[in-house]
Amino acid sequence: MQVERVADTSCETGEGPLWHPDEHCLYWVDIPPGKLHRYNPGTDEHELVYETPDGSPIGGFTIEANGSLLLFGGGGRISRWDPRNEAEAAETVVDSVAGEAGSRFNDIVADPEGRVFAGTMPTDDHLGTLYRLDTDRTVTPVVEEVDIPNGMGFTLDRTTFYFTESEARRIYAFDYERATGGLSNRRTFVEVPEGDGVPDGLTVDSEGYVWSARWDGNRLVRYTPSGTVDREIEFPARKVSSVTFGGEELRDLYVTTANVEGRDAEGDGAGALFRVPDVGVSGKAEFRSEIA
């Protein structure tokens, strides 16, 4: 299967790719320096479009109903940035989350009702937490004591929520209550063997299969709805961090990677953005948040 390097960036931790259907572009972040990148497949050009003023991290983002981007940063800070007014500063939406001053957000997903599920990284004092940000901007912890919260998504019928705990090497499935955003009945959907990389970001395609990025495993893995391996795609980068579908018909996979130790150690494509054109199945439009 053809793997194309479409943006030869050298992101320390390229993450959180999302296709913006209003702009026909792909956005992704480099987490530690707080940089937001954009790739335009129509012109085959990429650019750095936003940096946090203080160099603080951006763990991920959602696309708001009005097309702006909701950025999830350090210390529990959440802000809104509008790509149609690039020169304007980001507007603070939530200043902080109690107990997360020394942490940062890591992976983010909007739900069908415009809420957002957002995980925070472990610190020296505590493990990570999965929070739910409701449309009235209240923040509620929903899964605690998580050793690196990561990739999330929903089944096609919107009754099950997938959630990755990277250091536990598991992708969980929860019963999801759309009316309240409640999660219950946690069970293991996939457990990755030792020495086979670490599950990271994920997306769900139009057939209900789960695509999971494999950090330190140099590949994507597609799982059936029952959790068995369907196929794998390898990349010239050891740390494959996240994946989304993009393009006008959502038939192209876009994949982020990380360059933590340098390309001699991490692979020739470490830190770059990749595209796998027309993988034989389409994605589904990501839900938009309705917070800001």
Name all domains of the chain by residue range, CATH numbers in brackets.
4-276 (2.120.10.30)
What's the chain's average pLDDT?
97
pLDDT value for 158: 98
Q: Is 196 a catalytic residue?
A: no
pLDDT at 13 over 90: yes
What's the mean pLDDT in 184-197?
A: 97
136-157 pLDDT, tens digit per residue, is 999 999 999 999 999 999 999 9
pTM: 0.97
At residue 264, the 3 state secondary structure works out as helix
**Residue 135: Cβ-neighbour burial (10 angstroms; 0-12, 13-18, 19+):** middle
The active-site residue, picked from 30, 107, 111, 200, is 200
pLDDT at 88 over 90: no
- Least Cα distance to 241 among 15, 58, 62 occurs for 15
Q: Residue 197 — φ and ψ, nearest 5°?
A: 85, 175
pLDDT at 257 over 90: yes
pLDDT at 1 over 90: no
pLDDT at 87 over 90: no
pLDDT at 54 over 90: yes
**Residue 193 DSSP one-character state:** P
What's the mean pLDDT in 80-108?
A: 94
CA 65 to mean position of chain CA atoms: 18
pLDDT value for 110: 98
Identify the band that residue 89 occupies on the pLDDT scale cut at 50, 70 and 90. Answer: confident
Identify the band that residue 185 occupies on the pLDDT scale cut at 50, 70 and 90. Answer: very high
What's the mean pLDDT in 34-62?
A: 97
pLDDT at 292 over 90: no
Q: Among 8-22, 85-99, 190-204, where is mean pLDDT lowest?
A: 85-99
**Residue 141: Cβ-neighbour burial (10 angstroms; 0-12, 13-18, 19+):** middle
> CA 60 to CA 118: how far, in whole Å?
9
pLDDT value for 79: 97
pLDDT at 204 over 90: yes
Helix, strand, coil share (%) of the chain residues, nearest 5: 5, 55, 45
